[in-house]
């Protein structure tokens, strides 16, 4: 297959670029050094700055050795300008969020775009002087060199992020770059399934796996892949006591319906609540949950027999936000099944989906014949309700949040909004406020409702749920959930916020 290489400079969206290119039909992978066999290179963004010695740099003589089209994005855009003798400086103003860019539509990179396009910016530094033989093809009110090209060398740069959904015509920009590279569009997800099943068979052989499952789409698809590979797997569900209302019963029914054998439930509420007592730091919570989670698996493995592997439904966004696989990325938050793993494990990891994004996992689930209700189920974090309770996790707070969560889900489904949302859930804010109920003063918790729309969880917009639905949610929570007297609605997108609160 033709392929495009994505240079990883530590940007949170590096793998999102790769996924977008794959979506457009061309195979892409993450690289750190140039090599033969690629039709084009894309240089990702990153948290560094080009004038710092510690920041990642282009390989020596990069543009002397590379004779294929190159596109720089954000930090990559700045690196190219500096490499050719341009100037990069700290801007007078930061530029974060949605902006309007004026672009030169005569450029091959911007073919079939409008002269003014909404783009997503996330930078402070900017290119203040273009290199010789480079021409400006885009600007915003703050960034005068928001895009450039060198036609003779087929080198392009954009300060904005075409890979995120907040740049509506971003796919057109990437599609145009693919056309510039002359790549054939022969990447198909169906081939990935066959290759993955074969890979699992060959690499696992007659060894045994103990597989972490939650009933969510990720672990369910991973479980089906392992089942189709015919490898010996025991599927373990840990009831941490941090789950949603009736979660354990629902998950058990899911695996029974899928006729997946060797499904075990481990009840561990007291152990998790004890371990989390007095803990308020979000990262500490995640690590505690992750460590105990794996410890319980190891205990269950010894009880059931000899296992060589621990299976998990880890996907790419989990790894990216935990700064894996790139050691250059800043840690946003540690995911329970990535950064929370103990340094010394008795089991090796099997993660069938760790190269995929959520929408790809759902497509694979559909190809594998999973019921739509499983495929469309909203993501639920591994640490469960523990990271939707800001501050200490207690049994009382968990009970409040469980009841509120059930109410939110019921109302959203009743109004046919569930399938339009990426996630919707309440979070408990450990701050009390004064209210009045039945002519009496109350002093109780606040709940924040979080509802977002997204394609892959890398970016997300807050959802404009109708006021009548929000009113119904608020009224029912306040009337039916003891301990809450105020309901808030979160109108923060990702970025700058994350989808979950901790």
> What DSSP line would sit under 144-208, residue for residue?
TTSEEEETTTTEEEESS-TTSTTSTTHHHHHHHHHHHHT------HHHHHHHHHHHHHHHHTT-E
Domain that holds residue 301: 189-375
Query: What HEC string does 211-246 produce?
Result: EECCCCHHHHHHHHHHHHHCCEEEEEEEECCCCCCC
Respond yes or no: is residue 74 known to be catalytic. yes
Asked whether residue 223 falls in the same domain as residue 164, the answer is no
Q: Which of 322, 340, 375 is the last residue of a domain?
A: 375
Nearest Cα neighbor of 359 from 375, 382, 374, 343 is 375
Q: What is the CATH classification number for the domain harbouring 324?
A: 3.40.50.620
DSSP result, 89-155: EEEEEEEEEEEEEEE-TTSGGGTT--SEEEEEEEEEEEEEEPPTT-EEEEE-SS-TTSEEEETTTTE
Q: Are 358 and 367 in contact (CB under 8 A)?
A: no
Query: What CATH number is associated with residue 412?
Result: 3.30.300.10
In a domain, 148, yes or no: yes
Among 15, 74, 336, 500, the active-site one is: 74
Whole-number Å distance between alpha carbons of 330 and 217: 27
Same domain, 254 and 350: yes
Please say if the pLDDT value at position 206 is more than 60: yes
Number of domains in the chain: 3
Residues 356 and 425 in one domain: no
> Are 28 and 121 within one domain?
yes
Give the CA distances from residue 365 to residues 57, 68, 193, 349, 417, in Å, rounded to whole numbers and listed in that order.
39, 36, 10, 22, 22
Domain boundary among 342, 375, 408: 375
Whether residues 425 and 304 share a domain: the answer is: no
Backbone angles phi, psi at 136, to 5 degrees: -75, 130
**Catalytic site includes residue 303:** no
pLDDT above 80 for 316: no
Catalytic-residue membership of 321: no
- Token pair listed for 378: 């909203």
Band of residue 93 on the pLDDT scale cut at 50, 70, 90: confident
Which of 95, 117, 163, 444 is flagged as catalytic? 163
- For residue 380, being part of any structural domain is answered with no
Same domain? For 417 and 368 the reply is no
- pTM for the model: 0.64
Average pLDDT of the chain is 88
The band of 339, judged by pLDDT with boundaries at 50, 70 and 90, is very low
For residues 31 and 7, the answer to whether their CB atoms sit within 8 Å is yes
Quick check: 462 and 493 in contact, CB under 8 A? Answer: yes
For residue 64, the domain's CATH number is 3.40.50.880
Of the candidates 276, 267, 227, the one whose C-alpha atom is nearest the C-alpha of residue 248 is: 267
pLDDT digits (tens, 9 = 90+) for 180-194: 999 999 888 778 898
Residue 498 lies in a domain: no
Q: 23: which 2 tokens?
A: 């979506």
Which among 15, 77, 123, 161 is annotated as catalytic?
Answer: 161
The residue from 375, 407, 433 where one domain ends is 375
pLDDT over 60 (residue 326): no
Instruction: Identify which of 264, 270, 379 has the alpha carbon closest to the alpha carbon of residue 321.
Output: 379
Is there a single domain that holds both residue 333 and residue 364?
Answer: yes
Q: Are residues 312 and 398 in the same domain?
A: no
The secondary structure of residue 418, as a DSSP letter, is G
What local confidence, expressed as pLDDT, does residue 6 receive? Answer: 94
């Amino acid at each position: 297959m033709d392929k495009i290489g994505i240079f990883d400079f530590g940007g949170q969206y590096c793998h999102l670029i790769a996924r977008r290119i794959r979506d457009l039909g061309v195979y892409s992978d993450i690289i750190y050094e140039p090599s033969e066999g690629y039709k084009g290179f894309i240089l990702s963004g990153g948290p560094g700055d080009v004038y710092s010695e510690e920041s990642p740099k282009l390989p020596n003589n990069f543009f002397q050795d590379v004779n294929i089209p190159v596109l720089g994005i954000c930090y990559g855009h700045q690196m190219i300008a500096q490499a050719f003798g341009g100037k990069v400086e700290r801007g007078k103003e930061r530029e974060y969020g949605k902006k309007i860019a004026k672009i030169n539509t005569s450029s091959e990179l911007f073919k079939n775009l409008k002269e003014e396009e909404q783009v997503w910016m996330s930078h402070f530094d900017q290119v203040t002087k273009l290199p010789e033989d480079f021409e400006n093809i885009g600007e915003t009110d703050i960034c005068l060199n928001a895009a450039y090209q060198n036609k003779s060398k087929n080198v392009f740069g954009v300060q904005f992020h075409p890979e995120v959904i907040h740049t509506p015509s971003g796919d057109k920009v990437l599609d145009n770059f693919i056309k510039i590279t002359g790549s054939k569009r022969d990447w198909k997800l169906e081939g990935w399934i066959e290759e993955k099943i074969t890979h699992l068979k060959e690499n696992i052989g007659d060894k045994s796996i103990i597989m972490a499952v939650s009933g969510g789409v990720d672990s369910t698809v991973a479980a089906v892949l392992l089942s189709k590979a015919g490898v010996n797997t025991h599927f373990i569900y840990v009831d941490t006591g941090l789950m949603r209302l009736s979660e354990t019963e629902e998950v058990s029914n899911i695996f029974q319906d899928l006729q997946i054998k060797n499904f075990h439930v481990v009840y561990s509420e007291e152990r998790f609540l004890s371990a989390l007592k007095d803990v308020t730091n979000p990262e500490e919570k995640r690590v505690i949950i992750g460590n105990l989670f794996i410890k319980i698996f190891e205990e269950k493995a010894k009880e059931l027999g000899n296992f060589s592997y621990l299976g998990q439904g880890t996907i790419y966004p989990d790894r990216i936000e935990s700064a894996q696989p790139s050691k250059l990325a800043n840690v946003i938050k540690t995911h329970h099944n990535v950064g929370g793993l103990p340094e010394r494990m008795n089991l090796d990891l099997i993660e069938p989906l760790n190269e995929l994004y959520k929408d790809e996992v759902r497509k694979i689930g559909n190809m594998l014949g999973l019921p739509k209700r499983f495929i469309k189920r909203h993501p639920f974090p591994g640490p469960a309700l523990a990271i939707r309770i800001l501050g200490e996790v207690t049994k009382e707070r968990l009970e409040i949040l469980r009841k509120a969560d059930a109410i939110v889900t019921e109302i959203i489904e009743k109004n046919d909004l569930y399938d339009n949302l990426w996630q919707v859930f309440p979070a408990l804010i450990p701050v009390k406020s004064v209210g009045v109920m039945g002519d009496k003063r109350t002093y109780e918790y606040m709940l924040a409702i979080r509802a977002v729309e997204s394609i892959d969880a890398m970016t997300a917009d807050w959802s404009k749920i109708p006021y009548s639905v929000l009113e119904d949610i608020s009224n029912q929570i306040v009337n039916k959930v003891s301990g809450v007297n105020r309901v808030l609605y979160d109108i923060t997108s990702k970025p700058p916020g994350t989808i979950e609160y901790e």
